[in-house]
């Protein structure tokens, strides 16, 4: 999957150089490009934002640099039906696991991130959809983009090892998972449930199923 991220703060994306995402990039399952919005500013001050018409506090991201940035990404992009352009927005549609699964079906995702300020309304027409990671306001779209990339990447074939993916199946299938234990059997008096030590696979499977129902909110 190809991922293009348009942002004023490409250095915030350092977490995508760690762990499972790092491995996926090394294996060329993920190809991530960071695009500096300021490179598409059109005046000598590299200005990307301005004061809002009608007054009010704060700055607003100007349309021209964002249109130029997105158009430049689209120049060598995959056809429309294989890609999705997402704008990170606190009042967008709330991201969840089924959205992650849907996005994992595309070959290219393009992320539009703002920072501090709002977007000029005309920027929204560049995006296929506005996505929020929850009902709270962050300082920018960078963390939301990383959250979405992480959740989508782990659904792509061969990103997780077989051990890791088996573990996540229950949530993926709609459950909330079951309690897990490893050694020691007795940690400061907190014991591992007997059933897990019984070696009785059918009973363990049933116990896990029950537990996952209890956990599901």
Residues that bind ligand ADE (CB under 6 A): 88-90, 132-134, 136-138, 141, 144
Q: Provide the minimum distance between the beta carbon of 190 and ligand ADE in the complex, in angstroms, as a whole number.
A: 36
Q: Kindly state the smallest distance separating residue 138's Cβ from ligand ADE, in Å.
A: 4
CA distance 61 to 123: 9
Q: If we measure between CA atoms, which residue out of 83, 75, 40 comes closest to residue 61? A: 40
117 is catalytic: yes
Cβ 104 to ligand ADE shortest distance, Å: 19
Q: What is the DSSP string of 141-210?
A: SHHHHHHHHHHHHTTSTTTS-HHHHHHHHHHHTT--------S-SEETTEEPPGGGGS--HHHHHHHHHH
The answer to whether residue 38 is catalytic is no
- Cβ proximity to ligand ADE, 57 vs 173, nearer residue: 57
169 catalytic residue (yes or no): yes
Name the residue nearer to ligand ADE (CB basis): 65 or 144.
144
Q: What dihedral angle (degrees, nearest 10) is formed by the CA atoms of 178, 205, 203, 163? A: -90
Respond yes or no: is residue 90 known to be catalytic: yes
- Between 48 and 159, CB nearer to ligand ADE: 48
Catalytically annotated residues: 90, 117, 154, 169
């Amino acid at each position: 999957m190809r991922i293009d991220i348009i942002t004023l703060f490409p250095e915030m994306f350092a977490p995508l150089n760690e762990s499972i995402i790092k491995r996926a990039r090394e294996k060329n399952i993920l190809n991530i490009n960071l695009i500096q919005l300021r490179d598409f500013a059109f005046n000598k001050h590299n200005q990307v934002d301005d004061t809002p018409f009608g007054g009010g506090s704060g700055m607003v991201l100007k349309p021209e640099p964002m249109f130029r940035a997105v158009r430049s990404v689209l120049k060598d992009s995959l056809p429309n039906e294989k890609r999705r352009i997402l704008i990170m927005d606190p009042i967008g549609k709330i991201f969840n696991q089924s959205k992650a699964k849907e996005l994992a079906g595309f070959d290219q995702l393009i992320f539009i991130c703002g920072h501090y300020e709002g977007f000029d309304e005309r920027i929204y027409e560049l995006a296929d959809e506005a996505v929020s990671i929850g009902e709270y306001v962050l300082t920018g779209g960078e963390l939301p983009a990383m959250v979405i990339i992480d959740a989508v990447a782990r659904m792509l074939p061969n990103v997780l090892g077989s051990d890791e993916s088996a573990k996540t199946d229950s949530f993926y299938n709609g459950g909330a998972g079951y309690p897990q234990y490893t050694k020691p059997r007795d940690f400061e008096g907190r014991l591992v449930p007997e059933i897990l030590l019984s070696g009785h696979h059918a009973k363990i499977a049933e116990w896990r199923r029950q537990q996952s129902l209890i956990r599901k909110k």
